[in-house]
Amino acid sequence: MAQPDREVGGRAQLTSDSNPISRAVAGGDPAQAPSPPLREMYRTLLLARLFDEAQIRFYKSGKEKMESVHSYIGQEAIGVGIGYAMAAGDQLLPSLRSRPAFFARGVPLLVQWAGVLGRADSPGRGLTGSRHMAALQYGIVGTTGILGAQIPVATGVAMALEARGAGDCAVCLFGDGAANRGDCHEGMNMAAIYRAPVVFVCESNGVAESQEWSSYMPIDDLSVRAQAYGMPGIRIDGNDIAAVYEAAQQALARAREGKGPTLIVADTCRLHAHVEGLPDFRTAEFMKTWAGRDPLPRARAAVLEAGLASERELDELRVSLDLEIEQALAAARELPVLEAEGLERYVFHEGDATTTIREDR
Ligand SMILES: Cc1ncc(C[n+]2csc(CCOP(=O)(O)OP(=O)(O)O)c2C)c(N)n1
Ligand SMILES: [Mg+2]
C-alpha cells in the first residue's frame, strides 16, 4: 500500500487553535469554570507514573506470572485531567492503558495492584488483568479486548444516564488506532443524533501497536472528523494537564446542558513500547523530542510556579508515594488468586439455564 510521505508520528503541531473547529466548542462559560486542582492532579499524575514504573519492575522481576504491561507512561495528563474533570456520578469507559484515570476516580492502590495481579477479590474477579478492568463502584464501566468497542457502549451508557435524569455523563477514552474502527463511527453518529451526554476523548499518540499514524490515518488532524458527525471537535495538547482538565470541563458542561457530545483529540506520545519488552520502531530523535514534552515535569513546574508546593515537598511526595506503592503491592500479593474451579463461574448462567430456555419457548 502506498504510504504518504510523512515522518514517524509527524502530525501537525500541538496548538489547540491550529484547527478552526477547535475554537467552536460551545457550552460552559470558561470564566465560571473552577480552576484546575493542580496540586492534587500533580499528586495523582506522579502516583500513576510511579505505579506504572513499579509494575514494569515487578513484571521484569519474574516473581509472579502476570499480564504483560501496556504502560501509559507519557500520556498520564489525559487520564488524570479527564478523571478530575468528571463529576461523581459520571461514568468512564477507559482505553486499554488509561489506568491513571482510575486513580483520578479514587480507585485505591491495593485495588489497582489486585487488578494487575489478577486476584480473585479485584473488580475483574481474577478473570482479567487491569487492562480490561471495570470498577463499577468508582464509576468505571470498563472496556474489553476488542479495540474501540467501548465507543458505542459509551453512547449507550450516556443515553441510560440521561434517562435516569440526574445530569450525569459518560466519558470514553480510546486510541487513535481505535478511532478507525467501525464502532467509532457508529457510536459517534448515534451519540450526535440523540444528543447523548458523552465526551469522546482520543488519546492521539500517533501509533497503533507497531504501525505509525500515516499507515492508518489519511489526515493530519483527527478532530476534523467531528464536523462530519455534527459535534464540536477540539484538538489539545494532551501533555498539558490543565488544558486537558479545562477542555473536559467545557465538554462535560455542554453535555449536561443537553447539547450533546464533543470529540476531544488530545495529542500525546506513549514513551514506552506498545507492550513492555517489545521493540519500538520510533527513532531515538523522535522519542527525545517527546520526552522533552513529558507531562510530569511540566505539571511539576506549573505547581512550583503557582507556589502550591516547594521542591522539597514534591521530592518528599515522590518518596512517600513510592513507599505506598510498594506496601500496596505486598498487601495485594497476599490476596487469593482465582482457583481453577471458579473459572467458569462468570461465564455460564448460575442455575438451570437450559430449563429456562426451554420454558421460554
Ligand atoms: C479489534 C481489534 N483489533 C486489533 C486488536 C489488537 N490491538 C490491541 S491494542 C492495538 C493498538 C491500539 O492502538 P490505539 O488505539 O492507537 O491505542 P494505543 O495502543 O496507541 O494506546 C491493537 C491493534 C484488538 N485488541 N482489537
Ligand atoms: Mg495510538
* Rounded distance from Cα 309 to ligand 2 centre (Å): 34
CA distances from 172 to 196, 200, 324 (A): 12, 5, 29
Which grid cell sits at 152?
A: 458505542
Counting ligands in written order, which one lies closest to the CA of residue 78? 1
pLDDT for the residue numbered 17: 34
* Rounded distance from Cα 267 to ligand 2 centre (Å): 10
- State yes or no: pLDDT of 7 exceeds 60: no
pLDDT for the residue numbered 32: 60
Ligand 1 closest atom vs CA 70: 19
Tell me the per-residue pLDDT of 167-179, one tens digit each, with 9 for 90 and over.
999 999 999 999 9
pLDDT for the residue numbered 345: 74
Closest residue by Cα to atom 21, ligand 1, is 175
CA-atom Rg of the chain in angstroms: 21
Residue with cell 470529540: 263
Tell me the per-residue pLDDT of 261-289, one tens digit each, with 9 for 90 and over.
999 999 999 999 999 999 999 999 999 99
Band (21; pLDDT cuts 50, 70, 90): very low
Counting ligand 1 atoms within 8 A of each CB, the residue from 67, 76, 147, 275 with the most, and so the one to mutate, is 147
Residue with cell 499528586: 43
User: Are the CB atoms for 270 and 239 separated by under 8 Å?
Assistant: no
For ligand 1, whether the C-beta of 175 sits within 6 Å is: yes
Is pTM beyond 0.85? Reply is yes
- State yes or no: pLDDT of 18 exceeds 50: no
- State yes or no: pLDDT of 74 exceeds 60: yes
3-class DSSP state for residue 125? Answer: coil
Residue with cell 520526552: 291
Q: Rounded distance, CA 199 to CA 161, Å? A: 13
For ligand 1, whether the C-beta of 206 sits within 6 Å is: no
241-256 helix and 295-305 helix, angle to the nearest 10 degrees:
90
User: Are the CB atoms for 105 and 87 separated by under 8 Å?
Assistant: no
Tell me the per-residue pLDDT of 230-258, one tens digit each, with 9 for 90 and over.
999 999 999 999 999 999 999 999 999 99
Band (29; pLDDT cuts 50, 70, 90): low
* Rounded distance from Cα 206 to ligand 1 centre (Å): 12
Averaged pLDDT score across all residues of the chain = 88
For ligand 1, whether the C-beta of 208 sits within 6 Å is: yes
- State yes or no: pLDDT of 355 exceeds 70: no
- State yes or no: pLDDT of 293 exceeds 70: yes
Residue 210 makes CB contacts below 8 A (sequence gap 6+) with 274, 278, 281
Residues with CB under 5 A from ligand 2 (ion): 175-177, 205, 207-208
Task: Tally Cβ neighbours within 10 Å of residue 90.
Answer: 25
Count of positions (residues) in the chain: 361
Q: Rounded distance, CA 234 to CA 165, Å? A: 27
Ligand 1 closest atom vs CA 203: 21
Q: Rounded distance, CA 44 to CA 313, Å? A: 15
Counting ligands in written order, which one lies closest to the CA of residue 73? 1
